[in-house]
Structure formats: C-alpha cells, structure tokens
C-alpha cells in the first residue's frame, strides 16, 4: 500500500481506539494522529517510503541488511517497539496503544498485498490475502474509502 493509504488506515485505527475509550476531543485528535504517523514506520526499511525519506540513513541501513517488508513488518517489531515505548518516562499509556494500533494497521494493510508480511519473523513464512497491489486503482480507492470513514468519524 502507498504511504497515504497506510496513514489513513492508521489514523482510522487510532480514531476507533479513541472513540471506544470515550476520550475527549483533544485526546481523540492526538491518538488519531499518533496512530496515523506510526502506521508509516514499518516502511522505514525502504528509502523510497515516507518514513524512509525522513530517516534516510536508517532506511538505507535497514534496506541493505533486512530488505523491504522484513523484520519491520513483523509482530516481533511491534512487541519490541511497544516495550521500548513503555520505558520512556512520561508517555501516556493511551499514546503507546495508539502507536501500536497504527503500526498494526500497516501490517494488516500489507497483509492484503500479494507480497504479504513476515508476521512471525524470524521464523519464516509470509502471510497474504493477495487482494490489492500497491499503487493500483484499488489502493487509491481504499485510501478514499478510509479517508471518508475517518472524516465522518471525527465529526468536526
């Protein structure tokens, strides 16, 4: 999926989390934003991505050592980042949950791609439903649908 699709999917996951917890509007926006941006992070393993452009040196190293859709697209990565976040002083638990929700949304969306994701890395195996190829009309349509749902859910 494209970065914009991942951002919308992550933001929608954050919105669902915030709404399910009955958070006030300011917190809804914060959780939605955190989840949207964290949904971009698994693609830090390629310099061609939004996260890879921002964190180019890291993206270059990760791409050379692990390749795209490798370790950063696994449940192990989610667990390691969540644990690391839990030890950052002052981080609110809801923001950590938002980060995890966004990151997981990325894995879910890439699971729809024929290339799949190595959810159980390093134990091998890729998982895929093979429904949408990145950059196709279906990817673009999914972005629009996710945006519409997100827009309706935020209720400006």
What whole-number distance in Å separates Cα of residue 30 and Cα of residue 21? 13
Read off the pLDDT of residues 15-72 as tens digits, 9 standing for 90 and up: 999 999 999 999 999 999 999 999 999 999 999 999 999 999 999 999 999 989 999 9
**Residue 113, φ and ψ in degrees, nearest 5:** -85, 145
Q: Which structure tokens are listed for 60?
A: 């270059």
Instruction: Supply the pLDDT for residue 3.
Output: 93
Phi, psi dihedrals of residue 117, rounded to the nearest 5°:
-135, 145
H/E segment holding residue 15: helix 3-20
Asked if 134 contacts 67 with a C-beta cutoff of 8 angstroms, the reply is no
Q: pLDDT digit string (tens) for 95-153?
A: 999 999 999 999 999 999 999 999 999 998 999 999 988 889 998 999 999 999 999 98
Phi, psi of 105 (to 5 degrees): -65, -35
- Whose CA is closest to 20, among 114, 78, 98, 88? 98
Domain residue limits, the chain: 3-154
- Tens-digit pLDDT profile for residues 28-41: 999 999 999 999 99
């Amino acid at each position: 999926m494209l970065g914009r699709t991942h951002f919308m999917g992550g933001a929608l996951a954050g919105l669902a989390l915030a709404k399910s917890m009955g958070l006030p509007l300011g917190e809804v926006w914060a959780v939605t934003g955190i989840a949207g941006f964290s949904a971009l992070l698994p693609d830090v393993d390629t310099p061609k991505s939004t996260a890879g452009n921002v964190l180019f040196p890291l993206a270059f190293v990760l791409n050379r050592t692990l390749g795209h859709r490798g370790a950063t697209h696994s449940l192990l990565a989610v667990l390691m980042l969540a644990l690391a976040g839990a030890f950052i002083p002052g981080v609110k638990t809801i923001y950590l949950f938002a980060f995890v929700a966004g990151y997981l949304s990325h894995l879910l969306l890439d699971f729809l791609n024929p290339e799949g994701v190595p959810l159980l890395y390093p134990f091998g195996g890729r998982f895929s439903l093979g429904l949408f190829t990145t950059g196709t009309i279906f990817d673009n349509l999914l972005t629009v649908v996710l945006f519409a749902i997100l827009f309706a859910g935020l209720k400006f």
